[in-house]
Chains A and B, each alone.
Chain A
Amino acid sequence: DTGVSQDPRHKITKRGQNVTFRCDPISEHNRLYWYRQTLGQGPEFLTYFQNEAQLEKSRLLSDRFSAERPKGSFSTLEIQRTEQGDSAMYLCASSFGEGDEKLFFGSGTQLSVL
């Protein structure tokens, strides 16, 4: 399977705990994106990488959130001191790069903060 894969599919955690999600993009893709989706809303942009460089971060991405893409391949998204408001579907997407607006999404990680 050469699509975007995300792990885990589901995560249940207690408020105040740290969580980390992983995304493996399509191998030929240079850009990797993180989005968040809550019930009844469309995906909201969080951040994106061009290879290993994080080029843009949304104001939705508070200081408790950090994303990395150390070798320009897979990426991790960490949320520290989780809050109930962090409960959402976290989606990863990838694309070839500048000029290619078509994003390919993974199946997402559903986070529930109790």
Chain B
Amino acid sequence: DQQVKQNSPSLSVQEGRISILNCDYTNSMFDYFLWYKKYPAEGPTFLISISSIKDKNEDGRFTVFLNKSAKHLSLHIVPSQPGDSAVYFCAASALSELIFGQGTELSVKP
């Protein structure tokens, strides 16, 4: 049973446009959500997070939106840059561990 799902394995966006990555979860007990970015042959690096008591958090070009009623979160990157090309994982905090989605590979084309 996949508690955190990223249903789009890949996304291709033109440089300068908005990238929207989506994530759905099933467990209403999750209280914290995070996005990680991963380049090949490297470990995931933290990008941005949001507490379940908020519905939006912004950091520069990155904004995370949380819709608790729909159990859905999204990451917006605007404007997208070629260096943003990577695999993006959403994760949800459950007690002492993070549960990750399967990842979405973002490709930003010049």
Contact = CB atoms under 8 A, between A and B. Distances in A.
Of residues B34, B46, B101, which shows the largest number of chain A Cβ atoms within 10 Å of its Cβ? Answer: B46
Nearest to A46: B97
A93 B97 CA distance: 11
Nearest to B91: A42
Contact of B89 (A43, A93, A98, A101): A43
A42 B100 contact: yes
Nearest to B31: A101
Interface residues of A, number: 23
A91 B100 CA distance: 13
B28 interface: no
Interface string B4-43: 1010010000000000000000000000101010000111
A103 interface: yes
Contacts of B6: 42
A93 to B, nearest CB: 8
B82 interface: no
A101 B102 contact: no
A106 interface: yes
Contacts of A91: 43-44
Contact of A102 (B34, B42, B101): B34
B98 A103 contact: yes
A32 B71 CA distance: 29
Interface of B: 4, 6, 9, 32, 34, 36, 41-46, 49, 89, 91, 93, 96-103
Given A102-B34, A102-B46, A106-B43, 13 more contacts: A33-B97, A40-B102, A41-B103, A42-B4, A42-B91, A42-B102, A42-B103, A43-B100, A45-B99, A91-B43, A104-B46, A105-B43, A108-B42
